[in-house]
Amino acid sequence: MNISRLSVRFGAFTAVDEVSLEIGPGRIVGLVGESGSGKSSLAKAVSGLVPYTGSVTGAGRVQMVFQDPYASLDPRMRIGESVAEGLPRMPKRERAGEVARLLELVALPAELAGRYPRELSGGMRQRVAIARALGASPGLLVADEITSALDVSVQGAVLNLVRSLRDTLGLSMLFISHNLAVVRYVCDTVAVMNKGRLVEHGPTEEVVADPRDPYTRTLLASVPRLVR
Protein backbone atom coordinates (compact mmCIF):
# COMPACT_ATOMS: atom_id res chain seq x y z
CA MET A 1 0.00 0.00 0.00
CA ASN A 2 1.21 3.45 -0.86
CA ILE A 3 0.61 6.84 0.71
CA SER A 4 1.70 9.58 -1.61
CA ARG A 5 2.08 13.27 -0.78
CA LEU A 6 -0.73 13.16 1.68
CA SER A 7 -1.66 16.42 3.43
CA VAL A 8 -4.33 17.16 6.03
CA ARG A 9 -5.36 20.72 6.71
CA PHE A 10 -7.68 22.06 9.36
CA GLY A 11 -8.41 25.60 8.26
CA ALA A 12 -5.09 27.41 8.05
CA PHE A 13 -3.32 24.75 10.11
CA THR A 14 -1.45 22.01 8.28
CA ALA A 15 -1.53 18.90 10.46
CA VAL A 16 0.08 16.59 7.93
CA ASP A 17 2.39 18.05 5.31
CA GLU A 18 2.98 16.05 2.12
CA VAL A 19 3.76 12.72 3.71
CA SER A 20 4.69 9.77 1.49
CA LEU A 21 4.95 6.32 3.03
CA GLU A 22 4.93 2.76 1.78
CA ILE A 23 3.57 -0.18 3.73
CA GLY A 24 4.55 -3.54 2.27
CA PRO A 25 2.25 -6.57 2.51
CA GLY A 26 2.53 -8.34 5.86
CA ARG A 27 4.61 -5.52 7.30
CA ILE A 28 4.05 -3.47 10.40
CA VAL A 29 5.08 0.14 9.94
CA GLY A 30 5.50 2.08 13.19
CA LEU A 31 4.61 5.74 13.26
CA VAL A 32 6.10 7.71 16.13
CA GLY A 33 6.03 11.35 17.06
CA GLU A 34 5.00 13.63 19.88
CA SER A 35 1.64 15.29 20.44
CA GLY A 36 0.91 17.62 17.56
CA SER A 37 3.27 15.77 15.22
CA GLY A 38 0.37 14.83 12.95
CA LYS A 39 0.60 11.08 13.42
CA SER A 40 -3.02 10.69 14.51
CA SER A 41 -4.24 12.94 11.70
CA LEU A 42 -2.34 10.80 9.22
CA ALA A 43 -3.95 7.69 10.69
CA LYS A 44 -7.40 9.22 10.40
CA ALA A 45 -6.75 10.31 6.83
CA VAL A 46 -5.63 6.83 5.82
CA SER A 47 -8.75 5.45 7.49
CA GLY A 48 -10.94 7.94 5.63
CA LEU A 49 -12.08 9.72 8.78
CA VAL A 50 -10.77 13.15 7.79
CA PRO A 51 -10.53 14.75 4.34
CA TYR A 52 -7.07 14.94 2.83
CA THR A 53 -5.22 15.80 -0.36
CA GLY A 54 -2.79 13.42 -2.00
CA SER A 55 -3.40 9.74 -2.55
CA VAL A 56 -3.68 6.45 -0.68
CA THR A 57 -3.48 3.51 -3.07
CA GLY A 58 -3.50 -0.25 -2.94
CA ALA A 59 -4.84 -0.64 0.57
CA GLY A 60 -8.19 -2.24 -0.12
CA ARG A 61 -10.28 -1.87 2.98
CA VAL A 62 -8.74 -0.04 5.88
CA GLN A 63 -9.82 -0.71 9.44
CA MET A 64 -8.84 1.16 12.56
CA VAL A 65 -8.49 0.27 16.22
CA PHE A 66 -8.81 3.22 18.57
CA GLN A 67 -6.92 4.29 21.66
CA ASP A 68 -9.68 4.29 24.26
CA PRO A 69 -11.01 0.77 24.84
CA TYR A 70 -13.92 2.22 26.80
CA ALA A 71 -15.22 4.39 23.94
CA SER A 72 -14.77 2.10 20.99
CA LEU A 73 -17.50 -0.43 21.76
CA ASP A 74 -21.19 0.49 21.82
CA PRO A 75 -22.19 0.06 25.48
CA ARG A 76 -25.62 -1.24 24.45
CA MET A 77 -24.41 -3.99 22.14
CA ARG A 78 -23.28 -7.46 23.10
CA ILE A 79 -19.69 -8.32 22.22
CA GLY A 80 -20.87 -10.80 19.59
CA GLU A 81 -23.01 -8.20 17.84
CA SER A 82 -20.14 -5.72 17.82
CA VAL A 83 -17.72 -8.26 16.38
CA ALA A 84 -20.27 -9.31 13.74
CA GLU A 85 -20.71 -5.76 12.46
CA GLY A 86 -17.93 -6.06 9.92
CA LEU A 87 -18.97 -9.46 8.60
CA PRO A 88 -20.58 -9.83 5.20
CA ARG A 89 -24.20 -11.07 5.04
CA MET A 90 -24.51 -14.72 6.02
CA PRO A 91 -26.92 -17.08 7.76
CA LYS A 92 -27.26 -16.70 11.49
CA ARG A 93 -25.54 -19.93 12.45
CA GLU A 94 -22.58 -19.31 10.19
CA ARG A 95 -22.33 -15.83 11.63
CA ALA A 96 -22.06 -17.16 15.18
CA GLY A 97 -19.30 -19.47 14.00
CA GLU A 98 -17.45 -16.59 12.40
CA VAL A 99 -17.71 -14.55 15.59
CA ALA A 100 -16.32 -17.45 17.59
CA ARG A 101 -13.48 -17.86 15.11
CA LEU A 102 -12.63 -14.13 15.29
CA LEU A 103 -12.68 -14.15 19.09
CA GLU A 104 -10.41 -17.18 19.08
CA LEU A 105 -8.07 -15.35 16.74
CA VAL A 106 -7.56 -12.67 19.39
CA ALA A 107 -7.28 -15.32 22.12
CA LEU A 108 -10.66 -14.69 23.74
CA PRO A 109 -13.15 -17.42 24.72
CA ALA A 110 -16.20 -17.70 22.45
CA GLU A 111 -18.56 -17.39 25.46
CA LEU A 112 -17.66 -13.71 25.60
CA ALA A 113 -19.97 -13.08 22.62
CA GLY A 114 -22.97 -12.87 24.93
CA ARG A 115 -21.45 -10.34 27.32
CA TYR A 116 -21.62 -6.58 27.35
CA PRO A 117 -18.53 -4.34 27.09
CA ARG A 118 -18.87 -3.14 30.69
CA GLU A 119 -18.12 -6.70 31.88
CA LEU A 120 -14.72 -6.74 30.14
CA SER A 121 -11.35 -5.33 31.14
CA GLY A 122 -9.55 -2.75 29.01
CA GLY A 123 -7.20 -5.31 27.51
CA MET A 124 -10.08 -7.62 26.56
CA ARG A 125 -12.04 -4.77 24.96
CA GLN A 126 -9.03 -3.86 22.88
CA ARG A 127 -8.89 -7.47 21.62
CA VAL A 128 -12.59 -7.31 20.80
CA ALA A 129 -11.98 -4.14 18.79
CA ILE A 130 -9.22 -5.93 16.89
CA ALA A 131 -11.47 -8.93 16.24
CA ARG A 132 -14.20 -6.64 14.93
CA ALA A 133 -11.74 -5.00 12.55
CA LEU A 134 -10.45 -8.39 11.37
CA GLY A 135 -14.01 -9.43 10.51
CA ALA A 136 -13.97 -7.03 7.59
CA SER A 137 -10.83 -8.73 6.19
CA PRO A 138 -8.93 -5.46 5.99
CA GLY A 139 -6.06 -4.83 3.63
CA LEU A 140 -4.57 -2.56 6.26
CA LEU A 141 -5.13 -2.28 9.98
CA VAL A 142 -4.47 1.12 11.53
CA ALA A 143 -3.71 0.83 15.24
CA ASP A 144 -3.85 4.24 16.91
CA GLU A 145 -2.15 4.13 20.33
CA ILE A 146 -3.94 0.88 21.11
CA THR A 147 -1.93 0.08 24.24
CA SER A 148 -1.44 3.52 25.74
CA ALA A 149 -4.56 3.24 27.90
CA LEU A 150 -3.54 -0.21 29.15
CA ASP A 151 -1.43 -1.27 32.10
CA VAL A 152 2.04 -2.60 31.33
CA SER A 153 1.19 -6.05 32.61
CA VAL A 154 -1.55 -6.52 29.97
CA GLN A 155 0.13 -4.48 27.25
CA GLY A 156 2.54 -7.31 26.47
CA ALA A 157 -0.26 -9.70 25.57
CA VAL A 158 -1.82 -7.21 23.12
CA LEU A 159 1.55 -6.50 21.51
CA ASN A 160 2.23 -10.23 21.15
CA LEU A 161 -1.20 -10.59 19.54
CA VAL A 162 -0.40 -7.85 17.04
CA ARG A 163 2.80 -9.62 16.05
CA SER A 164 1.18 -13.02 15.77
CA LEU A 165 -1.58 -11.63 13.55
CA ARG A 166 1.05 -10.38 11.16
CA ASP A 167 2.79 -13.75 11.19
CA THR A 168 -0.32 -15.93 10.84
CA LEU A 169 -2.59 -13.74 8.67
CA GLY A 170 0.02 -11.71 6.83
CA LEU A 171 -1.74 -8.58 8.03
CA SER A 172 -0.30 -5.18 7.05
CA MET A 173 -0.44 -2.61 9.75
CA LEU A 174 0.18 1.05 10.49
CA PHE A 175 1.03 1.07 14.18
CA ILE A 176 0.90 4.50 15.81
CA SER A 177 2.40 5.10 19.21
CA HIS A 178 4.17 7.74 21.21
CA ASN A 179 6.14 4.99 22.91
CA LEU A 180 9.32 4.26 20.96
CA ALA A 181 10.13 1.11 22.92
CA VAL A 182 6.74 -0.36 22.01
CA VAL A 183 7.15 0.60 18.37
CA ARG A 184 10.63 -0.86 18.30
CA TYR A 185 9.37 -4.14 19.68
CA VAL A 186 6.40 -4.50 17.32
CA CYS A 187 7.33 -2.90 14.03
CA ASP A 188 9.37 -3.89 10.99
CA THR A 189 10.04 -0.32 9.94
CA VAL A 190 9.74 2.97 11.81
CA ALA A 191 8.55 6.30 10.46
CA VAL A 192 9.18 9.40 12.54
CA MET A 193 6.95 12.46 12.28
CA ASN A 194 7.65 15.94 13.55
CA LYS A 195 5.42 18.99 13.08
CA GLY A 196 3.41 17.36 10.30
CA ARG A 197 6.39 16.16 8.31
CA LEU A 198 7.88 12.72 7.92
CA VAL A 199 11.49 13.19 8.98
CA GLU A 200 12.78 9.64 8.80
CA HIS A 201 11.64 6.17 7.72
CA GLY A 202 13.68 3.01 7.72
CA PRO A 203 14.05 -0.51 9.10
CA THR A 204 13.54 -0.51 12.84
CA GLU A 205 17.01 -1.65 13.86
CA GLU A 206 18.63 0.91 11.59
CA VAL A 207 16.57 3.85 12.78
CA VAL A 208 17.06 2.91 16.42
CA ALA A 209 20.77 2.18 16.17
CA ASP A 210 21.76 4.88 13.72
CA PRO A 211 19.20 7.68 13.45
CA ARG A 212 19.85 10.10 10.58
CA ASP A 213 17.58 12.93 11.59
CA PRO A 214 18.49 15.13 14.58
CA TYR A 215 14.89 15.04 15.80
CA THR A 216 14.91 11.24 15.83
CA ARG A 217 18.10 11.40 17.83
CA THR A 218 16.51 13.72 20.42
CA LEU A 219 13.50 11.46 20.62
CA LEU A 220 15.64 8.36 21.11
CA ALA A 221 17.75 10.05 23.74
CA SER A 222 14.61 10.98 25.66
CA VAL A 223 13.19 7.48 25.91
CA PRO A 224 13.32 6.40 29.54
CA ARG A 225 15.32 3.21 29.93
CA LEU A 226 15.29 0.70 32.71
CA VAL A 227 18.59 1.27 34.48
CA ARG A 228 20.46 -2.06 34.63
Pick the closest to residue 212 from 197, 222, 202 (CA basis): 202
Pick the closest to residue 39 from 196, 157, 186, 179 (CA basis): 196
Indicate which single residue of 10, 121, 210, 212 sits in contact with another protein (rule: CB under 8 A). Answer: 121
**CB of residue 171 to another protein, shortest distance in Å:** 16
Q: Give the SS3 label for residue 20.
A: strand
**CB of residue 53 to another protein, shortest distance in Å:** 18
Verify binding: residue 224, another protein, rule CB under 8 A.
yes
Verify binding: residue 212, another protein, rule CB under 8 A.
no
Single-letter amino acid, residue 184: R
Nearer to another protein by Cβ, of 18 and 90: the residue is 90
Query: Using CA atoms, how far apart are residues 24 and 2, in angstroms rounded to an integer?
Result: 8
Indicate which single residue of 54, 58, 156, 202 sits in contact with another protein (rule: CB under 8 A). Answer: 156
Pick the closest to residue 180 from 47, 39, 72 (CA basis): 39
53-57 β-sheet, strand order: 13-22, 2-10, 53-57
Nearer to another protein by Cβ, of 5 and 49: the residue is 49
Q: Which residues bind another protein (CB under 8 A)?
A: 34-35, 47-49, 61-64, 66, 68, 71-77, 82, 85-86, 121, 123, 129, 132-133, 135-136, 151-157, 159-160, 163, 178, 180-182, 184-185, 204, 208, 218-228
